[in-house]
Structures are given as C-alpha cells and as structure tokens.
Amino acid sequence: MNLDIAAYIGLGCLLLGFLLNTMHKIGRDSYFYNGLNLVGGLVLAYYSFCISSIPFLILQIIWALVALWGIIKLIYKKRASL
C-alpha cells in the first residue's frame, strides 16, 4: 500500500470520529469513536515513523493509547453492569 494512502486513511479515521462526535451522531464513550481514534492514531504513528517525524510519532502514539484506554474503560464498565 502506498504510504500516502495509508496516511489519508488514518487521517480520515480521526476526522470522521471528530465530525460524528461534533454532530452528536456518536458519543465519546462508544466503541466506534474510540476505535476510529485507535486505528487512525496507529496508522498515522506508522506513517510518522516511516517519514522520521518523531514529534508527530509521539503525538500519535499517545493518541492511540488514550483511545485504547477508552476502549478498556468501556469493557470494564460493561462487565461491571452484568
């Protein structure tokens, strides 16, 4: 896959999550929102690594970790309600 195409896919994931959340179509506490942020962050982290952009790589790793934390919180919240 072309590296630029991967970057556009990652960017699209982040922007789609932001847009849908801003339009109140999805909430911050949804798997879909956090999933979009996780995938987008990981893809852009890979892109950042490939182009040797360390500040952008750090940002995207943190972005993906925060999204992963959000997913883990949702899993524990669901388990606690069972």
Do residues 10 and 39 lie in contact, with contact meaning Cβ atoms separated by under 8 Å?
yes
Share of the chain above pLDDT 70, in %: 99
Q: Own/partner pairs for 60-63, CB < 8 Å, 24+ apart?
A: 63/14, 63/37
> Above 90 in pLDDT, residue 82?
no
What type of residue is 66? V
Residues 28-56 have pLDDT tens digits of 999 999 999 999 999 999 999 999 999 99
The pTM for the full model equals 0.93
